Chains A and B, each alone.
Chain A
Amino acid sequence: MAKRIDVSDLDIYYGNFKAVEGVNVSIEPRSITALIGPSGCGKSTFLRSLNRMHEVIPGARVEGKVVIDGQDLYGADIDPVDVRRQIGMVFQRPNPFPTMSIYDNVVAGVRLNSARMKKSDMDDLVERSLKGANLWTEVKDRLNRPGSGLSGGQQQRLCIARAIAVQPEVLLMDEPCSALDPISTLAIEDLMTELKEQFTIVIVTHNMQQAARVSESTGFFNLNGVGQPGRLIEFNPTEKIFSNPDQKATEDYISGRFG
């Protein structure tokens, strides 16, 4: 299931504006990789380029290579729809489909991918995914209620259940806890630690304690100034980043002496 991601010489553009420049990184399977850095440094943009969600924005494009399991995601014959089916994504703000029940939200991706599925198989999948997202006990009695009626933390876990229901190879999380309270955040962090047994997880976070708590590797993005492209300054094991980083900029950012 879990796959390794190799990024080489990746430049990311919005129209003519170069948002991210020259990223080279290898992301290990079955691990959590955290991306930290100041706002606007391109870490979310980089994350979105890993499952080709970046190009959803008109004018957005990418140069360079993102190779997963020997296959370049930006190869000429690759359909972005297929890429997104293999690489799930959880967004900053919880976004369950408001017009669907909890049950339908979980199976939304599966209904896209596969043909007919037996009702019992579908029920099993819903239970498995919701259990995987630590949400099952809270919602098992109201699977037919709208997903938008849940609390923010529950909605975010519902989105995680929806993402893992399709058994992706990689799970991308774009500040998944930034809209949540500390208890819900803890629930999601515990969940990530469980999920990394099966998936390759890449998470963007503004919370450095979170990065330190959950991730094996950390990448620090920064930019030299307004209008300059963001760069990956340092990529190292999390312990090293937070104790003895190679770069002065990393140390400044982590210790709060940024800017």
Chain B
Amino acid sequence: MTTTSAPPANPRPKRRPGDRIFAGSAKGAGILILLILAGVAIFLVTESFPALTAPAEDVPGGEGLASYIGPLIFGTLMAATIALLVATPLAVAIALFITYYAPRRIAAGLGYLIDLLAAVPSIVYGFWGIAWFAPRLVPFYQWLEENLGFIPLFAGPASATGRTMLTIGLVLAVMILPIISAISREVFSQVPSLHREAALALGATRWEMIKMAVLPYGKSGIIGGAMLGLGRALGETMAVAIILSGSAAGITWALISSANPQTIAANIALQFPESTGLAVNTLIASGLALFVITLLVNMLARWVVNRRADFSGAN
């Protein structure tokens, strides 16, 4: 709104109606998203307030809010971390293959397929996980227990059903794989040919060109895609609820046993229908925890991206 440079005879620059309508609607949309976010936050805080202040023995489990939500947070983070660790490198590799290695005709089809996978509802992955994937993982878990059982992560006894934390992590990985690779693919294909040719002209092989020009340029895009994937993994409800229903252990590092902590979202889905009173407030408090975790993770990612903003290639 500053008009310092305008001549005194015409203090206000002419404003065209189109500009004003667009600026107004854009501003309105921006305010709306803030209002919605604030509304959600206020709802979560006020509704979880009774649980936050309730005496420990009234909270479900009878040992206070922290020991109720703690394992849930742990389970949520564990499942999401496994998913992200498995999915991100794979997704980046897929995206690189599609953009720089596959013959053009195959690449188009593959890209379409990846986008399609991103649209499959999560319940389908959940069914697939429990009915097909979990049983097939059992021998693998037994092998892990026998050979790597000394590592706490793979401590036995291995689950006989395959419905374990690791299975969840892997199913979530499959679920978030398409979204991460779709976004990475988009970013990789936008690397200016100027930069790619700079690398090639220095005598870079294709892989060296990718290391020099493509991956650094696409880093913020990869992180952005991974965050979207992580958001989906953290909040995923049905797939986790189906696979882990029944088991609700405390904090445990064992990934392949049948005793697993639930995740926040799945726990809410499983418990909510039968909850009343303070139990509902407790569930909402766990939702608040999920909200805060998601916020923190996104801020962390933004910080990582901005840390070297000068080098992002955006200028």
| A interface residue numbers (CB < 8 A to B) | 51, 53, 56, 58, 81-86, 88-89, 91, 93, 95-101, 108-109, 112-113, 145-146, 148-149, 159, 162-163, 166
Which 9 A-B pairs give the minimum distances between C-beta atoms? A85-B203, A99-B216, A98-B313, A109-B202, A89-B201, A84-B203, A95-B194, A95-B198, A146-B310
B22 close to A (CB within 8 Å)? no
A108 and B201 within 8 A (CB): no
Q: Which of B201, B213, B216, B217 contacts A91, CB < 8 Å?
A: B201
In the complex, the answer to whether B311 meets A99 with C-beta atoms within 8 Å is yes
Report the nearest A residue to B213, measured CB to CB. A97
26 A–B pairs (Cβ distance < 8 Å), ordered by A: A51-B201, A53-B200, A56-B200, A81-B204, A82-B203, A83-B203, A84-B200, A91-B197, A97-B198, A97-B213, A98-B217, A98-B313, A98-B314, A98-B315, A99-B216, A99-B311, A108-B199, A112-B203, A112-B204, A112-B212, A146-B310, A148-B313, A148-B315, A149-B315, A166-B202, A166-B203
Most buried by B among A88, A99, A145: A99
A149 with B310, Cβ < 8 A, contacts A56-B197, A112-B208 known: yes
**CB of B205 within 8 A of chain A?**
yes
**B195, CB-defined interface residue at 8 Å:** yes
Which A residues are in CB contact (< 8 Å) with B219? Answer: 99
Decide: A53 near B197, CB < 8 A? Known: A85-B203, A99-B312, A166-B202: yes
| Apart from the given pairs A100-B311, A112-B212, 20 other A-B contacts in the complex at a CB distance below 8 Å | A53-B197, A53-B201, A81-B203, A81-B205, A84-B204, A86-B203, A88-B202, A91-B201, A95-B195, A98-B311, A98-B314, A98-B315, A99-B216, A99-B219, A101-B311, A109-B203, A113-B203, A146-B315, A162-B202, A166-B202
A95 & B202 in contact (Cβ 8 Å cutoff): no
Which residues from chain B contact A113 at a C-beta distance below 8 Å? 203
Closest to B194 in A: A95
Complex: chain A residue closest to B215, CB-CB: A99
In the bound complex, how far is the Cα of B104 from the Cα of A88, in angstroms? 29
**A51 to B203 Cα, complex, angstroms:** 10
Q: Are A97 and B204 in contact (CB under 8 A)?
A: no
- Residues in B whose Cβ lies below 8 Å from that of A108: 199, 202, 212
CA distance A97 to B195 in the complex (A): 6
Taken together as a complex, chains A and B put the C-alpha atoms of A162 and B204 apart, in Å, by 13
Chain A neighbourhood of B313, CB < 8 A: 98-99, 148
> A56: which B residues are within 8 A, CB to CB?
197, 200
Q: Which of B104, B202, B208 is the most central at the interface, judged by chain A CB atoms within 10 Å of its CB?
A: B202
Residues of A within 8 A of B198 (CB): 91, 95-97, 159, 162
Residues facing A in B268-315 (CB within 8 A) are 310-315
Within 8 A of A (CB), among B133-157: none
Query: Chain A residues near B204 (CB, 8 Å)?
Result: 81, 84, 112
Q: Give B163-178 as 1s and 0s: 1 = Cβ < 8 Å from A's Cβ atoms.
A: 0000000000000000
Instruction: Answer whether A84 and B312 are a contact pair too, CB < 8 Å, given A91-B194, A97-B195.
Output: no
- CA of A149 to CA of B312, assembled, Å: 11
Measured between beta carbons, the chain B residues less than 8 angstroms from A82 are 203
How close is A29's CB to chain B, nearest CB, in angstroms?
A: 20
- State A53–B193 Cα separation when bound (angstroms): 12
The minimal Cβ–Cβ distance linking A80 to chain B, given in whole angstroms, is 9
Task: Give the Cβ gap from A91 to chain B, nearest Cβ, in Å.
Answer: 7
The CA of A86 and the CA of B203, in the complex, are separated in Å by 8
The digit string for B182-223, where 1 denotes a CB below 8 A from any CB of A, is: 000000000010110111111111001000110011010000
